Structure 1
Amino acid sequence: MVDYIDDWPEEISNGTVLVMVKFLDYALDTIGDNPSAVDAFMYRLLHSADYSMAKFSVKHFTDFFRGLKKIEIILSGVDMPSNFSKYIDRIHHLINSIEPFRQMANIGTDEVVPQHKSLYFAANVRGNYKTEVQELIEIYSRLDAWYSMALAVKKYNLHFPEFVESEHPFFEAKGLYHLLLHNPVPYHLQMSPEHNFLFLTGANMAGKSTLIKSVGSSVFLAHIGMGVPATEMKLTLFDGLISNINVVDNIAKGESFFFNEVQRIKNTVLKINDGKKWLVLIDELFKGTNVEDAMRCSLAVITGLVKVKTSLFILSTHLYEIGEELKDLPTIAFRHFETTVTEEALSFSYQLKEGISKDRLGYVILKREKVVEMLERL
């Protein structure tokens, strides 16, 4: 559909469909199935408000059918998947087999519709063919959604991924970036059963969360048939995506931040223990407890999760110390984002590199933002 964006009909808008839907349920006084010019004159005289409503609505119906016919013509000769082409075939059948639909589809943009024809169309779309009209509205809604997706692919220069068949989960992306960044630094990332766990470290603002969200959003987009923000991407079909990001406490339930972190991990373990392919994203594990406790809990979680070979995991953490205890686990890949500090100024390359980061920049940021100086003046 990307190749036909510029040819897409402009007749149909959200307002067009809204008017049609409202008219189908409008309490309109009865109109005959095939009113004559005299009938139309009398109806306009005796039911002026309803006549005005019918005439106004029929203009939108003619725009709708004209637009559907253009879509059908544009895509009729295109080689498409069966689940797509069946809708185009259905449009063709309904417009050409139902006389009022065929006539409305052939009415020109500025063509004046006679009074009796307006009432004829109004009566038929509400009475004899209401079900078919509703079906066509549903079909157009699907096509419009796909058109919007195609428009996004073209506007943001997205690329369609390649799905590979494999019993084991696989993900590889080149030139991957976060869609919301204006000047992103692209990543190259590969994950497989041999290295199914990415242990990600780096200072605050270095790019850990952005990488995790880039992977998650790209996999989601791939699974709904969209292009992805990457120059190349290969992946298996995943059965689900689990994110442990932005966990919060719940005052109403009396649940602490740490308790909810534990519950999210518990739910993750319950889900991935089914032999299906999962992509699991965990950002800053166990921030809700002290460092020593967080390290112990993190080690327990990581050494447990790596046993699951049917899933891929990305986990970011500030607790670089536990990396030493994980180095003997062959399926863990260690990556980091580095930060350069010069005269209390910070510089981030946002390049994904091998190894573990040991950067501790909290105090540097506090000092750079003049908070330390402000505190000393108190």
Structure 2
Amino acid sequence: MNFSIDKQTLDELNLMGKFRQGSIYHMFNQVKTGGGEQLLDQMFRNPLQDVAAINNRSKVFRFFQDAGCEFPFDVQHVSQMREYLDEKSGKSEILVLADTVIKKCLSALTHDERYKRKIQGLQATIITLARCHSFLETLAPEEPYRSRINTIKTILADRRIEKLRNIDIYTTLPVRLLAHYDHLLKSRLNKELEAVLSFIYEVDVYIAVGGVAQSRGLRYAIAHPPEDNFLSATGLFHPGVPHAVGNDIYMHKDTNVLFLTGANMAGKSTLMKSLGIGLYLAHMGFPVAAESFGFSIREGLYSSINVADNIGLGYSHFYAEVVRVKQAALAAAAGKRLLLMFDELFKGTNVKDAYDGTLSVTEGFADYRECMFVISTHIIEVGAPLKKNNNIRFAYMPTVMDGPHPRYTYQMKEGITEDRQGMMIIRQEGILELLNSAQA
């Protein structure tokens, strides 16, 4: 079963994008090799759904982080080894020998580079295999990576590969020996050599992610079975916000709705994004921006934070919001265990309709105890009639006044806000005086 998430949620949380500034992928993309980047991309696009798989991957990241490893391979040599193995080799060693002799002759008579590339590819392979062997000797064969380490050690201990590893690359190889290894590595031992390259790409990702966790103060989440139906985070913060303030969030089937109020700029949207990013990374087994993070497996993540109108489909902003809520309702009604987040429901319509809509939708969502919801609003009056629902937790992002100037703590508090600084900020910015002076 795949983790369910749509493009809007991916965009709102800024999860993907190799070249997208500030994206979570960009933050973790500290890998050295092309194969490592492909593996990182695969991990980002396929969050895990198995408790053991998630926790084991987290343990592997922590293993490399604690080991303090630096990537031990030469990137150019790894790339040359990849290209060398990708070149086709004849099925017969005799044919490979004939092809090698022809390439050598052409290299002497013309500017044909194929023979030179063949030699360089084999040399790069020898160096990379030797480094891999040395690197494995430095790793403690402990869980959770013991079996993987032992598998690669077994491959490198093969007498044919061991003999290759000990070849002096600075001596000229006879054509027959060059052809022999060309056929051996690309045919008989191709599967084993691919396994070594895969190991190198894994190490690349594990070291890179562990390094990000170390430098940014991230921690590893602990996954629990879906039926536990809870999420607990302490010191949760947004990994892309400098000096971010941490918050504690706890949700389970008896308090599965967080009703969040607070002024604009108080941090409601950032808190939602922090939670969504944390949950997504946790399902990948990646480190999260929190002091601690425990969660039961979710089947998907759904957000509605920056809903825009759709001119192409003729949708107004309000209708786009309604369509988004309908999509979420269908997903919840399908019986999946989801985290769903809505920032400022129905802000594209009048206050009366927004009040009625927010109240009705929040009450309706609250009935789906297998799902978890975070719903924010400016319309604090909605909170009073919702208090009869015992599974709704009320919290707000406070505003503190320093004289005439508002200050935001970004520290969530229990209850419903009573802050109403909108008109005060309008006056503070001198908008009314500007308009009155223009009329004079």
TM-score (norm 2): 0.74
Q: Aligned residues, how many?
A: 370
Cα drift, residue 299 of structure 1? 1.1
| 1:163 maps to which of 219, 223, 233 | 223
| 1:315 maps to which of 375, 383, 389 | 375
The worse-fitting range, judged by mean Cα deviation, of 129-138 and 310-319 is: 129-138
Match of 2:244 in 1: 184
Cα drift, residue 177 of structure 1? 1.4
* Structure 1 spans left out of the alignment, 5+ residues: none
Match of 1:112 in 2: 170
The worse-fitting range, judged by mean Cα deviation, of 199-208 and 225-234 is: 225-234
| TM-aligned CA distance change 1:129 to 1:326, over 3 Å | same
| TM-aligned CA distance change 1:314 to 1:240, over 3 Å | same
Match of 1:355 in 2: 415
Match of 1:65 in 2: 129
* Structure 2 spans left out of the alignment, 5+ residues: 1-62
Is the aligned partner of 1:231 residue 2:291? Answer: yes
Cα drift, residue 345 of structure 1? 1.4
Letter in 2 for 1:54: K
Match of 2:58 in 1: none
Conserved? CA contact 1:203–1:360, under 8 Å: yes
Matches of 1:45 and 1:27 in 2, distance apart? 22
| TM-aligned CA distance change 1:60 to 1:326, over 3 Å | same
Give me the CA root mean square deviation.
Answer: 3.2
| 1:172 maps to which of 232, 241, 244 | 232
| TM-aligned CA distance change 1:97 to 1:299, over 3 Å | same
Match of 1:56 in 2: 120
Matches of 2:310 and 2:430 in 1, distance apart? 33
Say which structure, 1 or 2, has more relative contact order (CA 8 Å, 6+ apart).
2
Conserved? CA contact 2:89–2:187, under 8 Å: no
Cα drift, residue 94 of structure 1? 2.7
Conserved? CA contact 1:279–1:311, under 8 Å: yes
Matches of 1:368 and 1:21 in 2, distance apart? 63
Cα drift, residue 226 of structure 1? 1.8
Matches of 1:73 and 1:138 in 2, distance apart? 18
SS of aligned partner of 1:314: strand
Matches of 1:25 and 1:74 in 2, distance apart? 30
Match of 1:95 in 2: 156
The worse-fitting range, judged by mean Cα deviation, of 185-194 and 362-371 is: 362-371
Conserved? CA contact 2:346–2:358, under 8 Å: yes
Matches of 1:229 and 1:362 in 2, distance apart? 31
Matches of 1:304 and 1:181 in 2, distance apart? 34
Match of 1:264 in 2: 324
Identity value in percent: 28
Cα drift, residue 361 of structure 1? 3.1
Letter in 1 for 2:131: G
Match of 2:207 in 1: 147
Conserved? CA contact 1:11–1:63, under 8 Å: no
Is the aligned partner of 1:327 residue 2:387? Answer: yes
Matches of 2:243 and 2:349 in 1, distance apart? 35
Matches of 2:89 and 2:434 in 1, distance apart? 72
Match of 2:143 in 1: 79
Letter in 1 for 2:108: L
Matches of 2:230 and 2:193 in 1, distance apart? 44
Match of 1:194 in 2: 254
Conserved? CA contact 2:71–2:207, under 8 Å: no
TM-score (norm 1): 0.85
